[in-house]
Amino acid sequence: MSTAHTPGPWAFEDEFVRAGDVVIADPYCEETASTRPGEMEANARLIAAAPELLEACEAAWPMLELACRCQDGTIGSGPCAACRAVEIARAAIAKAKETK
């Protein structure tokens, strides 16, 4: 599957989020620096996990759709937990793949 983002895996090491030799993010730059203990590292780990999280959402998508066949025949719009998972996955995938 082709992607617009730098292919993973990404890792948080040496104070940067990297994909091999490519720097993806610098959580310690002045514009993003936080004063809360551990927050920058936690943000960096979440950023580093992004490619795998996107892949997991895309892989789970068909199963989520099958799990959420609501009584009215719609997918992802009902009150059940599976429908909520469909909504969250759909929004996350769209957010990750949004192009401008």
Task: List, for residues 2-48, the tens digit of each pLDDT value.
Answer: 568 888 889 998 889 999 999 998 887 777 666 676 888 888 999 99
Q: What integer pLDDT is reported at residue 76 of this predicted model?
A: 56
Query: Residue written as tokens 């990750």?
Result: 96
Q: Region 52-64: what's the mean pLDDT?
A: 88
Q: What integer pLDDT is reported at residue 19 of this predicted model?
A: 92
Q: In 9-80, where does DSSP find H-type helix? A: 39-67
Q: Region 54-81: what's the mean pLDDT?
A: 74
Q: What integer pLDDT is reported at residue 11 of this predicted model?
A: 92
Query: Taking phi first (over 0 means left), then psi (-120 to 50 degrees means alpha), and beta for anything else, what does residue 53 get?
Result: alpha
Q: What integer pLDDT is reported at residue 84 of this predicted model?
A: 81
